[in-house]
Amino acid sequence: MKKIIFLVLIFIPNLTLANTYIEKKINGHTFKVIQYDLTSQDYEIKVVKTDDATNLWSLMKQNNALTWVNGVFFCPTDYSWCNTNKSFTDNERYIAGEKYATYLTTWDRAVFAWDINKKPFIYQSGKINMDFESEIYYWLGNYPLLLNEWKNMLEEYWEKWLIDGKMKAKWTRNFICSDEKKENIFFGLVYDATLEEATNALRNFWCYDALNLDAWLSTVFMYNNRYLVWPQKRDILDAVVIERKWLNISEIATIWENITKILLQDIEKRSKKSLEKTDTYLTSYMNGLESIRKKAYEKYSSDIYEVNFVGELDKVGYRIDSPSLKHLKLITLINEVFENLKKLRSEVREKITQEQQTLEIIK
């Protein structure tokens, strides 16, 4: 533990957050959500894409972002009915004012968009804000549209038989939404909910306009360089991301490489190449990093309370924020080292399992 603290402090140079994490219970469903303050001068919210499906970790490094959730529906290579050797999507994306789309009209898809001044709105060809397409700076096109001006929009999709079995099932739901005053964008996950249940819960989560995003095997979520959903089961093509100005993710990656190198040298020396001992030492360092992370977050975490039906306060969740770039750099670095040690430990445990299986065969 002391070694980790010492290394982190050595490698952190002197470097406000519209990147607030909220975990809350609503209508019996757990929400894990990022709140982005649209007035922020320090953070940028973007949509990013790649032509070749990749994991979120790589996509993050390519776009200097620290918080992510995956984006729109697409055809992956493991869907036989897609009949493709390369993942693709026909759904609309606008990236910094440039449109990427297969069709001229959105059809039954809807677009969650924001203009160059970061004012969010819903766009749908011939139906909603039809004259606003030229105002779009970033967007995601998907279906179904969940809420428009508080109204539940699922009825039309039910009538057209566009609500499939997966949408009817209780599962983790992925969404993006904005509040009524257009002051915040929220994106993240609703757990153990049908699409109808998620939509009703979103109305109680300040969502005024809301769009469904891709989920199931594509679900992947990262906050401040740390996976909240892991492992990633399918490579993705796009994501909603938050970037912190004056924070260079590549520089942090270089720092973690130096720290990890020192930790691995220590582990190799102490474990004497024993996989079981390597697993133990990796776990010990990860527990140490987890302890540091909790202490670093404690100062900037707060519980969320709401008045219940008898007028008493109930704790319904918590939120995490950070007022300083230096603190954020510390957290991001800790998470970077932690995630890489976690990956190494998974590889070690896989080797241990393989060795055990080999021994069983020999016996």
pLDDT digits (tens, 9 = 90+) for 168-197: 899 999 999 999 999 999 999 999 999 999
On average, the pLDDT of the chain sits at 90
Taking 70 as the threshold, does the pLDDT of residue 280 lie above it? yes
- How many CB atoms are located within 10 Å of the residue 13 CB? 9
Taking 50 as the threshold, does the pLDDT of residue 3 lie above it? no
Name the nearest CA neighbour of 93 among 63, 117, 126, 71: 71
How far CA 209 is from CA of 64, 128, 194, 215, in Å, comes to 28, 12, 18, 19
The whole-number pLDDT of residue 254 equals: 85
pLDDT digits (tens, 9 = 90+) for 226-241: 999 877 889 999 999 9
pLDDT band at 363 (very low <50, low <70, confident <90, very high): low
The whole-number pLDDT of residue 310 equals: 83
pLDDT digits (tens, 9 = 90+) for 203-225: 999 999 999 999 889 999 999 99
pTM (two decimals)? 0.90
Name the most confidently modeled range: 10-24, 179-193, 305-319.
179-193
Burial label, 250 (beta-carbon count in 10 A; 0-12, 13-18, 19+):
exposed
Structure-token pair, residue 166: 């997966």
Contacts of 360 (CB under 8 A, 6+ apart): none
Taking 60 as the threshold, does the pLDDT of residue 315 lie above it? yes
| CA pair distance 7, 45, nearest whole angstrom | 32
Contacts of 168 (CB under 8 A, 6+ apart): 194, 195
Kindly list the strands in the beta sheet with 43-54, ordered across the sheet, starting from the edge strand earlier in the chain: 43-54, 236-244, 67-70, 221-223, 226-229
Query: Per mean pLDDT, which range of 3-17, 64-78, 205-219, 333-347 is the poorest?
Result: 3-17
